[in-house]
Chain A
Amino acid sequence: MTKTFEEKCRFLNYELYLLHTISKAIKGTFNENTILNLMLTGLTANGALGLSRASVFYYESEKSLIYGKAGIGPIDEDEAFRIWKDLDRNNIPVESYLQYAVENKLAIQRYPEKISDIAINFDELPPENYFRRVIAERRIFHVTDMNERNFNLPEQLRTVFVPSEIIILPLLSSKSVMGIIMADNAFHYNPIEESTLLLVSLVTIQTGIALENSQNHAVIRRQLEELRELHNSMENLQAELIKKEKLSTIGKMASYFIHEIKNPLVTIGGFAKRITESDNIGTIKRDAGIVFKEIKKLEQILGKLSGFALLSPSKIERVNLIEVVGEVTDFFELEFSRKHLDIHVDVPENLYIKVEKVQILEVLFNLVSNSVESMNAGSIGISAVMEHPFVRISVKDTGKGIPEENISRVTEPFFSTKTGGFGLGLFIVANIIENYGGRLEVASVEKQGTTVTIYLPA
């Protein structure tokens, strides 16, 4: 039967439309099974390419294994006419047919079950066997005259074989043969045309690309998953470390205070005992005086302890920085003049920070106090600028500086080089700043001076 030119044009147009639809559908997913089902339904859709059954086999070269992966189509004539009648009645266009096929799992038939049971050892295939040749030669085979006698496919395929026209073609990735696609015209026996062969090979090329993308996608997803897990475990580890660090700080703090409290207590107890045992009024008076002094010491220590209770902010307000700087410099005025220190304040008016006022006072007090203690003459500069979302505050002195090996330790609790120093000043400062999400930086050159810069929320 010859087609008119118009018929040929219409057919060609339809084929292009079909190819476009199938490849769009295949590219729309990363799911391997969906890709395979879309391709197979595309090949066998009634009124599309006119193939009656199609199947996919995967090839694993390192195991010399070919195995059935998926298939679509009737197993015998009865089933064939039942399915085709049903599809005809519903008159489903190609686009929705693919959707329909996936949603209604048309792939689940007796034919696909048999296909998925098939496993073939590649090495046992004779050289002329089409399944060996399609992998070795990577080209399409169109066999029009195969029957039981000249059967030239792997023996395992006899369970689904019907004498008909068969096409066998490789499923290619960019690097290798991933598998084999097989289709036939069983039961309706409409001849498979050259144009169909071309279209089928184009569809399988699309499928190969989509499968490869899907595999890459899966690899990337797995790697992302691993990265995420790694990230999570790092975060957990970090949280644990922070917790441990805090615990050890609390432990240090507790043992520090135990020591600080125990010493005066021992002294008080000892002298109190002596008082009870003594008849000499002079000794009693002296010992009672010592007891009194030690009790004063205890009170001071408790005062420091309650200072720690102030560590976490409770009443955050907008604090005008220039005001608190003024309060701190006023406090040190006597000290400044006694040591002949120059004070430079470079803080803009109406620069506000969102903190609890007591805490910013504590911070500035500590920083200025450190500077004052570090020198007997020189200058201290206090400056601040807006650095959104923070206000950057610097306290710079020309004091004796910090040896390089100690710079990283200055915020450790109980680190002190001063005689009688608690080693808690910068520790408290750092903790307060950290509570506000800010940060503290220390730059220092020995015998030249130190600059402490802090960032607090504006």
Chain B
Amino acid sequence: MSKKKILLVEDEENESLLYKEELEKEGFEVISSSNGADAVEKIANEECDLVILDLQMPQMDGIETLGKILTKKRDMPIIIYTAYPQYKNQFLTWAADAYLTKSSDLGPLKRKVKTILGEK
């Protein structure tokens, strides 16, 4: 069985590294993107199983990126992972499959990824 591939969209370099390594440890393949425009391009060219998206990034805001990804790949599962709890009530974010507030405990993120990708 081939590894499930996750696109991680996160502008903070060290944060990105943390998630990448932690998710790889869980047995996923992770490709990273540091901004929205790049993420949209990668989605178009690579087969991914899930997108983890940070809101509030330079150049293209996370919500805009979310919209663009969904126009290209309507069924793409997306987890919004952000420091801002207030976006949760913004209807655009309802299009995502999950909305998680960032925490140094990566447990909830890992569990959500596994649920969405159908693993135990």
| Contact A262 B83, beta carbon cutoff 8 Å | yes
| Contact B59 A419, beta carbon cutoff 8 Å | yes
Contacting residues, chain A, for B58 (C-beta < 8 A): 419-420
Contacting residues, chain A, for B103 (C-beta < 8 A): 266, 269
Q: Which chain A residue has the least Cβ–Cβ distance from B16?
A: A267
Q: Which chain B residue has the least Cβ–Cβ distance from A272?
A: B104
Contacting residues, chain A, for B17 (C-beta < 8 A): 290
Q: Which of A259, A270, A271 contacts B83 (CB 8 A)?
A: A259
Report the minimum CB–CB distance from A43 to chain B (whole Å). 78
A255, CB-defined interface residue at 8 Å: yes
| Contact B102 A263, beta carbon cutoff 8 Å | yes
A263-B104 Cα distance, complex, nearest whole Å: 9
Q: Which chain B residue has the least Cβ–Cβ distance from A283?
A: B21
| Contact A265 B15, beta carbon cutoff 8 Å | no
Contacting residues, chain B, for A420 (C-beta < 8 A): 58
Query: 1/0 per residue B104-118: CB within 8 Å of A?
Result: 111000000000000
Q: Interface size of A by Cβ–Cβ distance < 8 Å? A: 21
Q: Which of A155-199 contact B (CB under 8 A)?
A: none
Main secondary structure of the interface of B (DSSP, over half): loop
Q: Which of B4-61 contact A (CB under 8 A)?
A: 12, 14-15, 17-19, 21-22, 56, 58-59
A447, CB-defined interface residue at 8 Å: no
A22-B93 Cα distance, complex, nearest whole Å: 83
A262, A264, A265, A273 pick with most chain B CB within 10 angstroms: A262
Q: Which chain B residue has the least Cβ–Cβ distance from A419?
A: B58
| Contact B14 A269, beta carbon cutoff 8 Å | no
Q: Which of B14, B22, B105, B106 contacts A290 (CB 8 A)?
A: B14
Q: Which of A266, A290, A294, A419 contacts B102 (CB 8 A)?
A: A266
| Contact B12 A263, beta carbon cutoff 8 Å | yes
Q: With A290-B14, A293-B14 as known contacts, state yes or no: A265 contacts B59, CB within 8 Å.
A: no
A259, A263, A266, A269 pick with most chain B CB within 10 angstroms: A266
Contacting residues, chain B, for A294 (C-beta < 8 A): 14
Report the minimum CB–CB distance from A46 to chain B (whole Å). 86
Q: Which chain A residue has the least Cβ–Cβ distance from B55?
A: A259
A268-B86 Cα distance, complex, nearest whole Å: 23
Contacting residues, chain A, for B14 (C-beta < 8 A): 267, 271, 290, 293-294
Report the minimum CB–CB distance from A118 to chain B (whole Å). 71
| Contact A266 B59, beta carbon cutoff 8 Å | no
A259-B15 Cα distance, complex, nearest whole Å: 13
Contacting residues, chain B, for A290 (C-beta < 8 A): 14, 17-18
A420-B22 Cα distance, complex, nearest whole Å: 27
Report the minimum CB–CB distance from A443 to chain B (whole Å). 28
A290-B19 Cα distance, complex, nearest whole Å: 14
A281, CB-defined interface residue at 8 Å: no
B84, CB-defined interface residue at 8 Å: yes
A258, CB-defined interface residue at 8 Å: yes
| Contact B15 A267, beta carbon cutoff 8 Å | yes
Contacting residues, chain A, for B12 (C-beta < 8 A): 263-264, 267
Report the minimum CB–CB distance from B23 to chain A (whole Å). 12
B residues with a Cβ closer than 8 A to A are 12, 14-15, 17-19, 21-22, 56, 58-59, 83-84, 86, 102-106
24 intermolecular pairs with C-beta atoms under 8 Å apart? A255-B84, A258-B83, A262-B102, A263-B15, A263-B83, A263-B102, A266-B15, A266-B83, A266-B102, A266-B104, A267-B15, A267-B18, A269-B103, A270-B18, A270-B19, A270-B22, A271-B18, A272-B104, A273-B106, A274-B21, A290-B17, A290-B18, A293-B14, A294-B14
> With contacts A264-B12, A271-B14 known, what are 14 further pairs, Cβ within 8 A?
A259-B84, A263-B102, A265-B104, A266-B103, A266-B104, A267-B15, A267-B104, A270-B106, A271-B18, A273-B104, A273-B106, A294-B14, A419-B58, A420-B58
